[in-house]
Amino acid sequence: MILGVETSCDETAAAVVTPDGRILSNVISSQAELHARFGGVVPEVASRRHLELVVPVLREALAEADAELETLDAVAVTQGPGLVGALLVGLSAAKAVAWANRLPLVPVNHLHGHVASLYLQPEPIEPPFLCLLASGGHTLLIDVAEPGGFRVLGTTLDDAAGEAFDKGARLLGLGYPGGAAIDRLAREGDSGSYDFPVARVHGLDFSFSGLKTALLYTVRDLSEDELERRRADLAAAYQRAIVRALVARVHEAAEQNAASRIAVVGGVAANSELRAALPEAAFAAERPTSSAPTRPG
């Protein structure tokens, strides 16, 4: 069994997984409510909360899996990319567990971890496939030829898709986390009421900064009453622009690389409009999770 530890951003998480990809436990303590008051993740606040929660989360993951430290085969931990202070908390905890129990320590690039989530039970998919990785910090198109072999076909030149959602939500006064808030509100709006621009950049890359600026100017020119009336329409049109940009690039990449299968991972994979726009794609499965306490104790 492998104990996995993740603290790259604002969630303290630990899981116990078997070598064949069965998830025995998956414990997550979210800091979303804590950071909502600031409108986004504050790195120092995130690091301090990780420090408080990492040990309770590890204990709960082991207990749910009915596992003892002595029965583990290895400890895996996110080494980056992510918030430096937050990463250090997880790395320190994982190193301590591995050293004290004479276990191998496996550092993991968290972007590789997104792709590897597709290999987990109960519905693993096997390479080759084209993968869209869209999260708060990254947007990548990846040619996955084999489990450990990736080739980046395109990336964002500025904001990531998830970052664009978060910044858009802030402009619309929807708070954090922004992606889910926009997704919910967009269902009440008319996506055709505004025509936000989607940047066309070279190759298979993405650009979302112009879209964010267009929303900024649109919101700035509305009175408070007008913004209140049009908020759902703005959310729907803004979401449509992001999804159209992602889907267009996915289809271009699939055609250029003769990809027979498409997969989508990362936080943006939860977006309902993206899922509807890519019905042929395999989305990272919703894994059973347990919510750990948000405070130590």
Show the domain range for 144. 129-283
Question: Lowest mean pLDDT: which of 21-30, 38-47, 230-239?
Answer: 38-47
- Residue 289 CA: distances (Å) to CA of 54, 64, 151, 163, 285: 16, 11, 31, 24, 12
- If asked whether residues 65 and 144 sit together in one domain, one would say no
Tell me the average pLDDT of the chain: 92
Q: What is the pLDDT of residues 18-41, one digit of tens each?
A: 999 999 999 999 998 888 888 888
- Going by pLDDT thresholds of 50, 70 and 90, the confidence category of residue 291 is low
The count of domains in the chain is 2
pLDDT tens across 142-187, in order?
Answer: 999 998 888 999 999 999 999 999 999 999 999 888 999 999 999 9
pLDDT of 192 over the 80 cut: yes
Q: What are phi and psi of 9, to 5 degrees?
A: -140, -105
pTM score, whole prediction: 0.89
Residue bearing tokens 């987990």: 120
What is the 8-class DSSP label of residue 219? H
Residue 224 CB neighbour total at 10 angstroms: 8
Residues 168 and 24 both lie in one domain: no
Q: Are 50 and 171 members of one domain?
A: no
Single-letter amino acid code for the residue at 139:
T
Per-residue pLDDT at 49 exceeds 80: yes
CA distances from 92 to 4, 54, 80, 193, 294 (A): 13, 10, 13, 50, 20
Q: Which residues contact 99 (CB under 8 A, 6 or more apart)?
A: 105
**H helix runs in 65-208, sequence order:** 84-100, 110-116, 161-171, 178-186
CATH of the domain at 72: 3.30.420.40
Phi, psi of 220 (to 5 degrees): -60, -35
Q: Are residues 17 and 152 in the same domain?
A: no
User: Quick one: pLDDT at residue 149?
Assistant: 85
Does residue 293 lie in a domain region?
Answer: no
Looking at 87, 108, 123, the residue that finishes a domain is: 123
Is 100 found in the same domain as 179?
no
Question: Do residues 284 and 269 make contact, with C-beta atoms less than 8 angstroms apart?
Answer: yes
Tell me if 290 is assigned to some domain. Answer: no
60-100 pLDDT per residue, tens: 999 999 999 999 999 999 999 999 999 999 999 999 999 99
pLDDT mean over 123-146: 93
Structure tokens at 173: 């006064």
pLDDT at residue 133, as a whole number = 96
